[in-house]
Amino acid sequence: MQPYGNPKVKIKHKKLPGRVVVIADRCKGCDYCIDYCPRDVLVRSEGFNTKGYHPPKVANEDACTFCGLCERICPDFAIYLEHENTQRITIQEPRRKQNIEFFPSPLRGEFFMQGDIACAEGALAAGCRFFGAYPITPASEIAEHMSVVLPRLKGVFIQFEDEIASIAGILGASWAGRKSMTATSGPGISLMNENIGLGMMMEVPAVIVNVQRGSPSTGLPTSWGQSDMMQARWGSHGDYGSIALCPKSCQEMFDLTVMAFNYSEKYRLPVFIMSDGIVGHMTEKVVIPPVEKLKLVERKYTRKTADKYKPYEAGPDLVPEFAKAGDGYRYHTTGLTHDERGYPDMSEEAHQKLVNRLVNKIKAHADDIIILEEKDTEKADVIVISYGITSRLSAPAIAIAKKKGIKVGSLRLVTVWPFPEKRIRELSKRVSGFVVPEMNLGQIVLEVERCSGKNCTVAGIGHAGGGIIRTEDIVKAITEAAHGKKK
Amino acid sequence: MEEQRVKIAGFGGQGIILMAYILGKAVSIYDGKFSAMTEAYGPESRGGACSSQLVISGTEVNYPLVDKADVLIALSQEGYDTFKGIVDEGGTVFYETDLVKNVRHHAKTKVFDIPCTRLAEEMGKKIVANIVMLGFITAKAKIASKEAMLRAIKESVPEKFIALNVSAFEKGYAHALERTAGKKPKGVVK
């Protein structure tokens, strides 16, 4: 390729300050460097490399201006400029008084705060110092708040070009040792799903906030819904264990975000916060405790030496130890089925072992992860099972039903995934019916049906979102369940 | 204390959400009660219909939405028309004199009209109309104490506009007291 510009201008040649080096075995023969070299310094060599390609060679060294285009264009990092007298300069940074990882959250005390902002503050308090997202109503306020506060805490905020890049970005940041988070709504989660699977496979801690809106597709951008619940469990392809928490108030947006970080660090996986448009855009009193009083779980870094460390070797708790990039441990990580060393292993045994562990590491710890909020369940005939904002929206109906003389209890799923199968099975043997109000057309009700079998009736009250479930409908369902009628 | 449900409706850009925010903050942070505020708006940044709602209670607020309002504050005809139906019979309606012309209400409903935009214009800043309204409401409806409201305003607006907002609040408050005394409000031609 000829250089652009006026050919009459003569370029003075200086002695090169170094040389062009080709790592022949990395080359896959694309010839980009040859094509793009403005001075035709490189040509195809005659010989083969180990992969069977013709790597470039320097034919016309005098013409080289050391512009470095070949180094930048090479997709395989097979060509670079070596400067003479290259010295590795280490710049010693002045010691900071406080470690950035534990830089305190700027806020503490009582605030009248929006749910989204409480979520962002929860992340900051938990030690999140990398946030990558693409703004989307009703989750934009999380990104907005992070963009203001994170730089002040020496953290990094990036507004990526889309949600696919956002999730990839936070996985990378987490791999480098930063607690990372992204926030989005239904359409964003749909884009993220592939890389969520990558996070599950590579076992990278991260927190994904989904402030749900009316779906499918663009749906109701400024309204609410709960229709992504199954997506948090089965969104990405394949089997994996998943954790999802459902906050019902602004205070819980804070508390559960902290908890989500703890779970993600402890069990090494992306954890979902399944909020919704009402909670995200609601403003309530939020009490932020001092950072010292928060219970934070830090990542389990390995203490093994580099030669003995296997990145995917798990102990009895099924969670492998972590070594972050830059710690001196060199290892491979991939979305392909891998062995304990992290290298691709296409055997059936390796796949069975890995995928089983990914599912079982959550199953085995389900009792630790599951949090339920129960009220009057012990003597109840009918139990209203709800999660997130629906638990508050169904409160008036429960009060009306109680006035009618029906023994109603309520069970709120703070943790929706893993599903509290054991407890629901237990309760189903005692009650005459479950009522499951939710702002989708029946997702979690399927799980309740599965767990209760034929022990009791299960009535789902669906609402597609954008409005609220009518109190009368819930009361009617409770009354029917109390009389043992099947809906 | 019984729950109080407040609905505020108007156009985007009038400070509808800020009003509910200040009211809620005063109640929950400085008056020691509980409140939950929710908002609804369209995709437009200015000019679209906008409403915010606030539930105030002595105990933790369970049901955060307003289906039946005790207090309706309307800053636009459209907002009034949309939400007049949800006001309880014994409720209270505050409306902007110049922007809400067509008012029909139940005989038991208390109704106040406040020329808050005009009062704000007299101060030279039309944008504080919402704070003038808040001053009036604080005097007329027992939602939040005056001290709490003033603290909440100081905490919620940018520093250089605190003085303006506080005087706007005082103006609305004084206007309400003048009304109580049966005087003709100063400087307002109706």
A27/B contact by beta carbon, under 8 A: no
- Which tokens in the block code for residue A443? 């997702």
Contact B61 A393 (CB under 8 A): no
Q: How many whole angstroms separate alpha carbon A277 and alpha carbon A18? A: 59
**A209 with A109, same domain?**
yes
B189 assigned to some structural domain: no
Report d(CA B145, CA B31) in Å as an integer: 7
Determine the 3-state secondary structure of A364 from DSSP. coil
Residue B166 resides in a domain:
yes
Same domain, A209 and A127: yes
Q: ipTM value, please give it.
A: 0.86
**Are A77 and A174 contained in the same domain?**
no
Q: Give A456's pLDDT tier (boundaries 50, 70, 90).
A: very high
Mutate to test the interface with B, among A110, A275, A284 (most CBs of B within 10 A): A284
Q: Both A197 and A285 in a single domain?
A: yes
- A283, B34: Cβ pair inside 8 Å? no
Cβ–Cβ contact A402 with B under 8 A: no
Cα–Cα distance between A484 and A429 in angstroms, integer?
14
Between B153 and A15, name the one with better pLDDT. B153
Q: Single out the residue in A83, A115, A133 at which a domain terminates.
A: A83
Confidence category of residue A92, pLDDT binned at 50, 70, 90: very low
A12, part of any domain: no
Contacts of A281 in chain B (CB under 8 A): 38-39
The Cα B51–Cα B61 span in angstroms is: 19
CATH of the domain at A249: 3.40.50.970
A333 three-state secondary structure? coil
Question: Could you tell me how many residues make up chain B?
Answer: 190
SS3 A99: coil
User: Both A424 and A383 in a single domain?
Assistant: yes
Give yes or no: residues A265 and A148 share one domain. Answer: yes
Q: Select from A250, A278, A293 the last residue of a domain.
A: A293
Rounded to a whole number, what is the distance in Å from the CA of B28 to chain A's nearest CA? 6
Q: Does A109 touch chain B (CB under 8 A)?
A: no
Pick from A221, A281, A393: which is nearest to B39 by CB? A281
pLDDT in tens, A356-381: 999 999 999 999 999 999 999 999 99
Structural domain including B18 reads 4-180
Helix (H) or strand (E) holding B69: strand B69-74
Domain boundary, last residue among A293, A322, A341: A293
CB of A69 within 8 Å of any CB in chain B? no
Domain total of chain B: 1
* Parallel/antiparallel/unpaired status of strands A457-462 and B87-96: unpaired
CA distance A449 to chain B (A): 27
Sorted by sequence, the CB contacts under 8 Å of residue B161 that are 6+ apart come out as: none
User: What residues make up the domain containing A201?
Assistant: 102-293
Mutation choice for B interface testing from A282, A287, A386 by most B CBs within 10 A? A282
Contact (CB<8Å) A283/B40: no
- Residues belonging to chain B with any Cβ–Cβ distance to chain A shorter than 8 Å: 20-21, 24-25, 28-29, 34-43, 61-65, 152
Q: Which residues contact A333 (CB under 8 A, 6 or more apart)?
A: A175, A202, A311, A342
B contacts of A278 (beta carbons < 8 Å): 38, 64-65
A118 shares its domain with A254: yes
8 Å CB contact between A51 and A64:
no
Indicate yes or no: CB of B29 within 8 angstroms of CB of A285: yes
Q: Say if residue A206 is in the same domain as residue A253.
A: yes
Residue A353 dihedral angles phi and psi, to the nearest 5°: -65, -45
B36 belongs to a structural domain: yes
Inter-chain CB proximity B37 and A282 less than 8 Å: yes
Query: Based on the domain organization, do A262 and A382 belong to the same domain?
Result: no
The count of domains in chain A is 3
Determine the Cα–Cα distance for residues A190 and A176; give it in Å rounded to an integer: 26
Q: Is residue A299 part of a domain?
A: no
Is A218 part of a structural domain of the chain? yes
Q: How does pLDDT run along chain B (190 residues), one tens digit per residue?
A: 678 999 999 887 888 999 999 999 999 999 999 999 998 776 655 667 889 999 999 998 988 888 899 999 999 888 899 898 999 888 999 998 888 888 887 888 889 989 988 899 888 888 899 999 999 999 998 889 999 999 999 988 988 999 999 999 999 999 999 887 655 444 444 3
Give a yes or no: residue B186 inside a domain: no
H or E segment and range at residue A8: none
Structure confidence by residue, pLDDT tens digits, A190-212: 999 999 999 999 999 999 999 99
pLDDT of residue A16: 64
SS3 B87: strand
Could you say which of A110, A395, A468 has the minimum Cβ distance to residue B62? A395
Q: How far is B81 from chain A, CA to nearest CA, in Å?
A: 20
Min CA distance, B68 vs chain A (Å)? 13
Sign of the CA dihedral with B11 first, then B12, B13, and B15 last:
positive
Residues A66 and A113 in one domain: no
Residue A374 pairs in a beta bridge with A411
The predicted-structure confidence for A299-315, as pLDDT tens digits, reads as follows 989 999 888 899 999 98
Closest CA–CA distance from residue A419 to any residue of chain B (Å): 25
The reported pTM is 0.81
A284 and A154 inside one domain? yes
Which residues does chain B have within 8 Å of residue A282's beta carbon, measured at their own beta carbons?
36-38, 64
Is A75 found in the same domain as A113? no
Query: Would residue B188 count as lying in a domain?
Result: no
CATH number of residue B37's parent domain? 3.40.920.10
**Smallest CA–CA distance from A282 into chain B, residue:** B38
Q: Are A42 and A19 in contact (CB under 8 A)?
A: no
